[in-house]
Amino acid sequence: MVIKINSVKIGQYTINSFSEPFIIAEAGINHNGNIDKAIEMIHVAKKSGVNAIKFFTYKTSEFILDKNLEHTYFSKGKKITESMKDMFERCEFSKEEWLTIKKKCDDEKILFFSTPENRSDLDLLLELDVKVIKIGSDDLVNIPLIKDFSTTGLPIIMSCGMSNLDEINETLQCFNEFTNYPIILMSTTSEYPTKSEDVNLLKLKTLSKTFPNIPLGYSDHTQGNLAASIAVGLGAKVFEKHFTLSHDFPGPDHWFSADPNELKNWSDSIKMSHIMLGSETIQPTKKEITEKEKARRSVVAIKNILQGDIFSEKNLGLRRPGYGLPPKMIFELFGKKSKKEIMKGKLIDSDDF
């Protein structure tokens, strides 16, 4: 039985129990603060066949205070440690650059949205007429921020990495005053890349049982396509994955992100998995209906039968094709008399007995 979940409208797309996958290419900060790279990423995302591209909108000074806070990552095969503040400042865009990015998305007919770090960032995105808000796993328990964002009434996609069920439930209480608030929960593991034993796709089943009316998604931090394809089968409707123009670019996320070819393969794999999932109804396909008549067997004369002969295992058998009497009827025929002469190989019909 398909559990009916709430419909969430994101721009021209509707997410519900019967919708096709909604696929997001996550640019994040993989543009390295270069507007030309950001524009190229939009083109690559569109070409890959995804529905949307997501960025990260922030002002470093508003979410990182300590300049000595460090971040260690791999880049171009080397281990890099640098100031987190410096790293994010390097990738900031101005309002004018965001306007350029949004226009390019509109021109390419790909949905633009972003993860805002603070209300001021959201205000900028609202000016850009975003259709959905993304809340990252780092802010899942940032109740003041979430309450503030929810006042917009815009759909919210919320990642659930680093959390437990109690924290998710507490955060969802923020939406109690809103009837059927449009929210999507993204199961994920905040490890980059995520090891196979830490993927835990069965979390989707727990989320579905606990919040049966909320659409679910999967934020894929693994390398390859398998995890997302399995997530399709577990009911995920929304998918996102980091991507880069090149694994060789400097920066924290490029080495584990999908390159353009990998992004397209990932997107295609999700779509094909959805097609293969198909219907819960057990019935033959159109092709099977044609084939089953050839492949199944009918009651047939396996030797010449004279009028008045008694039908038995000696003169009746089961052979292809299946156009005639079904196999189960052979038992009813045993012991009956033939009304006419029947040639070997003839399918038995009701006129014969």
Q: Is residue 235 part of a domain?
A: yes
Same domain, 249 and 340: no
Q: Is residue 3 part of a domain?
A: no
Average pLDDT over residues 248-257: 95
Residue range 98-145, pLDDT digits in tens: 999 999 999 999 999 999 999 999 999 999 999 999 999 999 999 999
Residue range 210-250, pLDDT digits in tens: 999 999 999 999 999 999 999 999 999 999 999 999 999 99
Same domain, 294 and 272: no
Domain CATH number, residue 61: 3.20.20.70
- pLDDT surpassing 70 at residue 179: no
Same domain, 148 and 218: yes
Q: Is residue 138 part of a domain?
A: yes
Residue 177's pLDDT band, with cuts at 50, 70 and 90, is: low
Q: Is residue 258 part of a domain?
A: yes
Q: Is residue 1 part of a domain?
A: no
The DSSP annotation for 148-211 comes to HHHTT---EEEE-TT--HHHHHHHHGGGTTSTT--EEEEE----SSPPHHHH-TTHHHHHHHHS
What residue numbers bound the domain in which 159 lies? 8-277
Length of the chain as a residue count: 353
- 25: how many CB neighbours lie within 10 A of its CB? 30
pLDDT given for residue 43 in this prediction: 99
**Boundary of a domain, candidates 255, 277, 299:** 277
**Boundary of a domain, candidates 277, 310, 335:** 277
Q: Is residue 161 part of a domain?
A: yes
Domain CATH number, residue 291: 3.90.1210.10
Q: Is residue 234 part of a domain?
A: yes
Q: Is residue 53 part of a domain?
A: yes
Residue range 287-318, pLDDT digits in tens: 999 899 999 999 999 999 999 999 999 999 99
